[in-house]
Structure 1
Amino acid sequence: MHALGYPGSANLLVRYLKQGRAEPDRVPPSPRRRVTWLTSKPENLPEHDRSHLQDLITSCPPMTTLAQRVREFATIPTRRRGHDLDAWIDAVLGDDLPALHRFVHRLREDNEAVLAGLTLPHSNGPTEGVVNKIEMLKRQTYGRASFALISKRILLNQ
């Protein structure tokens, strides 16, 4: 390699080749990346990821169904359409998607709570935000301040 003009060490070249950087098109995408593609809006993905997603969906009929069901489900909480949940669950149970079947059975176990969360306008988000702020302040002063100082910081930051 040195005769051809490569200035680096052999060890560096071997590490580079083992990481698969020499041929990135031949390295299959990780399952996490595929899930990211499926759960993202296609128009929000970069062009190369969008083409990979299209190849993934068209290469496997169950993957086409999975992508369709994931997109349908995404509209239910974002548009507060809890009344569409039962129809979506029935459609999923009619498909041959065992991983989604487990998810649907868990949704059915807490059906009342899920429907309330998807239809009612109430939210515990503000409360969770305050709790998160208190926990952050507590972590910042851990081991450095007494309870009195922590409580004063919490009251001043409200």
Structure 2
Amino acid sequence: MYAQFIKELIDLPDVLIQKVRKEEERWIFELSLPEQCPLCPVCLKRTIKMTGKKKQWMHGYAQRIGIFWVELPVERRRCGTCGMTFSTSDPGISPRSVATDAFQQWVAHSCIGTSIQAVARMLKLPYTTVERWFYTHAPSFLSNDIQPKAVCVDEFAFRKGHDYGVAIMDAETGEVYALEAGKNEEAIGRVLAPVSDSVQYVVSDLAPAMKKAIQGVCPEAKHVVDYFHVIQLFTEALDRCRKSFGKGNKKHGHVRYVCRLLTQRPEKLTEEERQTVREWQKESDSLQAVYQSLQHFRYVSKSQNERQAKRRLNAWVHRYLFCPCSAVRAIAKSLVKRTDEIISCMLSPYSNGKMEGTNNKIKLMKRRGYGYRNIQRFALRVRLETANILS
């Protein structure tokens, strides 16, 4: 039973366990290969054994004993036909490496969800060695078959205010497919190119570069504007109207000034102060107009089909396109330019909410790695963290 457990722990085919020994703090499993005669890799003829020696490889890790090693014979063989000389051992082990492929893949898999430095400290291995194994084997964990139905596209910051990038994510599974540096139309086109054949819905914000890139790379896909960014037009208009009240550079702000004008009798106010109060009335009317347009648009967004959505949106535009409030007119003009995207936003079940949450994950990965100088390695790390490989 003990030998069977060791065989399952070692997980190497066609090997025989000779014995187990301990050298200082290293546990070593001595294995023997079955009788074999490897063929020449050039002419595929029989070879002759020249010399033989034993070599050790790191092959596994256990919590109590640490890294355990396997010891296998390495033969130097020569082809009698073409004279080719080569080294041979178990097919799953490279004679020139210090660890088996299975151990390297396990180490690379352990780095997902944590830092490479933490794994290197746990295994007491050089950081550069663990890093090389990770970037060698980690790409094999990802699937190359990328055919999403709906994707989300959004920008994120490498350095706030300096360097930006664009990420594309599956709207259903939450897996990030690609990252590109920059946030212009060319960068968005590059990130959309791998999924342009299969994608049917593309969700993004109201940026003009997004619309141009989607129309150029995915002309047959429906462009869906995120509902949050549409409502953001109204909230920003409300902020602009509120900020218009904040006039005055006094020590205590304009609070005391406003309170005095509102509590005084009208006949005690000067003509200039009365004009100020009249302007406040106009601003309050603007606030009310923005609120009314927002509530009306929320009613419009509850449409059941495309025909009903177009009819309600056209009615909203005709009602507020010539509104006395300039902020409401600006919102109406923005929606007129994006009529098709707004209708898709009303009818589509997709949104950019997952992408906004993933942007926070990307920011945390960047901080955990203390920044990345290589965009390809950073993209690989983000893909591994969002691909649900650990589950």
The structure carrying a bigger strand percent of its residues is 2
Q: Which has the larger radius of gyration?
A: 2
